[in-house]
Every structure is written in structure tokens, then in C-alpha cells.
Amino acid sequence: MALKVTQGLLSTSYYPSSLPLLSPTFRKQLTQSWSKLVRAHRINKFCDRPLTIRNNNISTVTSTLLLPSSSSTSSSSSYYSTPLSTKSTAVSTNSCPLDQLDDQQFRSMFDTWDTQIPSNDSNNNNINESSMTGQCPFSGSKGFQSIRSHENINISINRDNYLNKNSDDSISKSVKSFDELPTPKSYPIVGTTLTLMAFGGAAHLHEYCDSRHKELGPIYREKLGPTDCVFIADSSMVQKVYSNEGRFPNHLVPEAWTIYNEMTGIKRGLFFMDGPEWEKRRKGLNKIFLCQPVISDYAEAFNQVVTDVITKWSDLVNQNEQNIQSNQPRSGLLTQLEQELYNWSIESLGTMIFGRRLGCVETSSELKYKTHKMENVHLFVQCVQQLFVESAKMTLLPARLAQRFNLPVWQRFMAAAGQALNLARAYVAENVAATRDNPENGSRGVLEMLLAQPRIDQDELIRIIIDLFLAAADTTSHATQWALYLLSKNPEYQQKILEQVESVVGKNGTVKTEHLKHFTLVKGVIKETLRLYPVAPFISRKLDRDIELGGYNIPANSLIGISLYTTGRDEKYWPDAKSFKPERWVRDESNRKIINSHASLPFGFGIRSCVGRRVAEIQMQFLLSRIIQKFYLEPGNADDIGIKLRMITTPESPIHLRLIDRSTV
């Protein structure tokens, strides 16, 4: 059966007339004419809920991902043709007839071709078979399986026409225009800046936007400083943005960072890449950081770093003079939690990348030999923190203006950026050289895998690794900091975690990699923490096509800001939304349908989601389970700690923890 889409219309050999795309009549006739078994998987960017078409029904399954099994050359440069193979497998009974799908579901059927198969143009008529049958770009999930041909159905699709990418008819005439979007009241020249400043400025942008959503609804438009943005706080809109982000998702890079790179001539890593360059490097990193077998090779190294953290924190407790003069349980006040977690995060990542310990986490007996190295790590942390602080300040003040007049905020930003990059470059270059010169002194690290990739030189390698450290150290450490804070405020969950850990490893047993999968409540704590305190309270996207969101036409290349802080605390998605309830993430038959997967996206979404997600999750699972196993946590602050944005979600004041040794309780 041949299917062909031309000018947004579809026709088959079974009926000669072209029918309007996505119309009920179209669906009905397509269903009637689809006499052969067809399966087409929609690749979800998280690789966990592909959609399957079987016997004209759509179901969710996780057993396979299906791609065309062989390549062919299209007769026209604007079409791609390939046999679509099918294979029998068990599917869910929770299905929907093809002719009853909504527009978004129906379009998603063809995401596989758009996501995985190179677009055809005059210079690319021959499709590389390896691009369709190679390893899954989300390696570590289900992967692409070998497909045994059972039924072949030739399908020719011009996807741009199918989605009416450049057509004036792609947006319904009933949809309101971009200019009709709800907007807050503003004033000449200053706009809404004064209102934002009343909330505390850019440091409290999350609260400001949350109040705007409460006032204007789930979608509104506002110009903040030089940035004109459409903010959305609705899971269905988020899902629609995700489904239309295309092959090369585009996001907002802070203007100050872009200017700095232009001025200094410094090329940066993955975060600053777009298009084919980004895709090439991202695929290489996916095979490492999203591949479960690869991550598992380093899990015990992560665990050893946690052992050193616990030893160091135990020294703090044991050296507390108050414990000597009292019969009370031994305890100590940890006042440098942020720095401690930075050291842990950098050490863990370094162990994975270089295959050797960096010396960032040392016990008191070893510390005197590492003073210079620790001073550099501490200075690096301070520079990164300052870099984010000054970047946030230039959210409202155009960075180009600050740079042109060399304002103090720009001077501080330049100094912090320069020092952070120089420290990181020297540190990374030193370890790259050590790995190359003495490979026998360490295990095989990610660095060796990156060096094995084609056409990558040392300068590019250093840039990629620097950005990994800049991103991972700050984000993982702050996410863990919030988790420990919430656990200290909710002791009942400490007890539940302890009981779950002991049920798996026994009392005072050793936590190992194979145990983590049983710590469902620890995983729930991580997800619940990131729901309430998302590392990035906003995710940005610029789509390459017009899109309808909430009844409004959003033109291509408009900046869309997804308000994760708002959706994560919305009672519509989360009963008792402001309460810390990790059990809401522990799936069972009673609450299986509670979680809305697009209402909390702490690691982003789609093919541009956080590449270090799985690494961060394993690191946090080890640390949280073992810290609770060793210590009872109490808040060290008299008052609750609020959020202050430094581009990411950070505590408004330092978090202190009181550590109580469980063995003395």
C-alpha cells in the first residue's frame, strides 16, 4: 500500500481523492484502507514510552524501538521512501483506534522518521543505512533491535508538507494571533522591570513568573529587559513543544556568555553548540553518559568517593569537643555543606572522566598534603558561583550594554569567567596529560573513550570536559544540598529510607551498586526534591516552525520559557503540591496514574535533555542512602531557607546540617 503526502494532503492507491490532513474523514478512510499490519514507533526522547501502531490501534509499549530496516534511494530529492518492517510482539490493551487519535498523537506517528532519518535534500539523496540501524542514541535504554521482515509497506513521506511546516494553513484560522497573548501591565521605557525589582529582581524571577501565571494563566508573553519570551506552565503545552523541537533543538544561551566567547575567541563545549556540530558531539556523549553498562563500570568508584565523604564528616563529628564533655549522642554542625558537596561532585565526575582520583575529597589526615590542590578547587567553586551571580544580574540589563560601557557587573563577570576557565583548563590539561602519559596508573576513563572518537583534537576535548565540570559540579551539588535539607526537615522519611536500606543490605551492611535498584524511596526523594527545587527553574526552546499553544499562534523562532517551578508546584498536577512527599513517585497500582511526566522535567526533555542525568542520579542515590545509613540529620538553621536564583536554583543563605552519629544514638 503506497502512502504519499503532497502539499499537506495524503492519498493512497486505495482511494484516488486527496483528503484534508488530520481531518476525521482522513482518519476514517486511512483506517479502512490500512489492510496490512503496520507498526510505527514514536521514539520518546526519554526512550521509555514509545507509541506503537498495531492493527490500526495505538498502544504504549517498552519492548522494542522500530526503525525502517533498510535504506533506499528516493526518486525525488524531496521524498524519503523505505520499506517499513513489522514484527509481532505483545502490546498493551490500553489502545486507541487510529481514527480517534488527537492531532498531537497522530503527528507523533511520524516523529521516528524526522528524528532518526536524515532529511533529504539535493545533496543527500542516498540514505546511510548505518544511520537507521546503528546503536540507539539513547544507548542504555531499549536500543534498536534487529527486525526480521514480516510485512513490507512502502511509505513515501514529505514530512515538512505533512506537518505543513511552511504553510499558512498550519495554524487554524480560529487560533488567536501572537499579539493577542496575555501580557502584564507595563510602563513606558521601564516596562515591567519595576514590578520584577519589587520581587527581588532576577534572583527571584521564579516567584515573579509564578505570580504572573496565577494572574494571566498558563501562557503569557512578557519582555524582561532585552528578552521577549512566551512563558508556559501547562503540561500539555510542554509536551507539544517537546514534540515539535525537531532534530536540532535550539535553546537560549545567556547573552553575556556569548559576548564573552566572541570577545576572547574562546570556543566552548556542548552547551554552546547547535545544529550538526551539536548533534555529532552529543551522540558521542550519549553513548557514554546515557549508557547504563558504561555508567555501571564507574558506580563503585562513585561509591568509594561517598565512603571518603562519610569518613570526613565522621571526623567532623568525632572532633567536636562538646561530644567529649557530654553523654549525648555524638554530633557535629556541618556549616560548609555547599563546598563539601562541590568537592564530592567534582571528585566523582573526575573519577569517571579521568579514571583516577583527583584528591578533592580528603580526610583530615590526608588534607595537609593536598592544600594547594584544595585551594584551587575552592577558588574554582567561588569563580563559578560568581559567574552565575553576575549572569543572572544581566538578565534585566542588556549584557551588550554592560559590555559596551564596561559596567562593574560586566567587569566582575569577565574576571570570574576568565579565572574559572583558566583554572579548569589547567586542571583538565594536567589530567589529560597524566592519562596519556601514564595510562597504567588509572582505570579506563571517559577521556580515553572521547579520545577514540574520530576527528576530535585536544583543544575541543578540553572544551567539552570543562563545560561538563562547570555544569555538573554546580547542578548535582545543589540538587543534593536541597535533598539533604528536605530530609533534615522531614525526619520521618529518614527513618523510612533507613528501613528500606536495611531491608536490602541488613543493619550496618555495605551498600553496593546492585542494591540501588531496590531503593525506591531514595529515588522518590530525588524526584520530589527536583520537583520542588528544580535545578533550572526554566527551560527555553526556540522552535523552527510555527506552533499553536493554548489557542495562540507562536511564530517560529520565538523564545518559549517553560516554567518548571510553577508546574512543579501546581495543585492541578500535584495534590498537596507544597508538601514534601517522596512516596508520590513510588509507583504501585494505587497511584500509577498520578504522575504527569511533563509537569516535572528537572533534567530537561527531548534529545537536548541533560546528558549527565543518569550519572547524577546514581551519585545522588549512593550519597543519600549511605548518609542516612550513617547519620541522623537535623536542620542547622533556625529559619527556613528560601530560593535565590544564580541562573540555577540555589539556597538564599548557606544550609547548615547537624550530623548525629546513629551508632551513638
For residue 68, give the amino acid letter: P
Closest alpha carbon to 298 in 362, 349, 360, 358? 349
Contact between 65 and 43 (Cβ < 8 Å): yes
Hey, what's the cell of 178? 501572537
Radius of gyration (C-alpha) of the chain in whole angstroms: 26
- Cα separation, 67 vs 83, in Å, equals 10
Would the annotation count 610 as a binding residue? yes
Phi, psi angle pair for 53, to nearest 5° = -100, 125
Q: 462-493 burial, b for 16+ CB within 10 Å, e for fewer? A: bbbbbbbbbbbbbbbbbbbbbbbbbbbebeeb
SS3 assignment, position 296 = helix
Closest alpha carbon to 568 in 527, 617, 523? 527
Closest alpha carbon to 10 in 24, 37, 30? 30
- Cα separation, 414 vs 401, in Å, equals 14
Hey, what's the cell of 149? 521482515
Hey, what's the cell of 259? 559576548
Hey, what's the cell of 447? 577521556
- Cα separation, 104 vs 108, in Å, equals 6
Cβ-proximal residues to 393 (8 Å cutoff; 6+ apart), any chain = 201, 202, 409
N-term to C-term CA, the chain: 73
SS3 assignment, position 51 = strand
DSSP notation for 459-481:
HHHHHHHHHHHHHHHHHHHHHHH
Closest alpha carbon to 338 in 330, 350, 346? 346
- Cα separation, 401 vs 456, in Å, equals 36
Burial class (CB in 10 A: 0-12, 13-18, 19+), 513: middle
- Cα separation, 177 vs 155, in Å, equals 35
Binding site residue list for heme: 610
The binding site consists of: 610
